Structure 1
Amino acid sequence: MTATTGPLVIDSIADLEAAVGVELGPGPWLRVDQDRIDTFARATDDHQWIHVDQERAAAGPYGATIAHGYLTLSLVSGLAADLYTFTLGSARLNYGLDRVRFPTPVPVGSRLRLRCTIAALEEREASVLVPIDFVVELEDADRPACVVRKMSLVLLGG
């Protein structure tokens, strides 16, 4: 396991075991602008006014448009690249998500950053299942924008 400047590199089972319980981050801030929100709306066909109608949203409960919860969730993988990388195994697969919550809405123009903790590992015959706990922090907010346990499956072998 190596971490100088940049993401923690995990290149063995021993590195993975050593990383269990270690908090990584926070990573760099990412601004969520209206263009990102609109692009996500087009990609998912979710055009709810609270996300895309700036005029109506200005008079709404948050005073501006807010990011889709699933947009916030979708940013986790990209933001995680600043915290860790697996060189272990032949491939890494998204095995699923557990306990996804969106405690705080993300108003347009807000900045997010990520922290994570590798929670455990479960060695299998040709893979390792790695639950990773993520917290998406919202700048100047008392509560996070998203908390989630992501299940990553690391395939071993060729």
Structure 2
Amino acid sequence: MSSNATGVKTPVAAGARSGSARNKARRSIPSPPHPPRAIPCGASIYGDCLEPRRRQIEWKDCHQRNREKRSVPHELTPAQQKFVESQVAAGVFESSDKVIEAALELLHQRQIEHERLAVAFEELENGNHRPLDLEEIKAMGRELLEAKRASSEC
């Protein structure tokens, strides 16, 4: 129930907020960080912006300027530079930045694989494993092969 100017109580729909509650909710929205925090892998540079849409454009401009300032300078050896240029010249990548992005992604995937293997070796040393049956391994391989063939036929 809410009261109008005359003091008459009127029913309020479930989930509806009064004007002051709406304004309070708006004021409680935290501002995005300024300058923006480091961005987690795969996140959008605008993902942390919680401002209403009307201010989002201004924050996007700010984030873009700060993103350009935060670029990591890198120097390549002559051999690395030659390789990058050959990849761009061959049309494998659009630019040298794309070559470096691909290399960093590959490094990231490699680190993830090393971490996964480290966990597996630790489990092995701690006795958290079970013996594998050769027939079970073959059956799993056949299932994977069939699934791969089925997906390539589509």
Mark yes or no: TM-score above 0.5.
no
Q: Which has the higher contact order (CA 8 A, sep 6+)?
A: 1
TM-score, normalisation: structure 1? 0.23
* More helix as a share of residues: 2
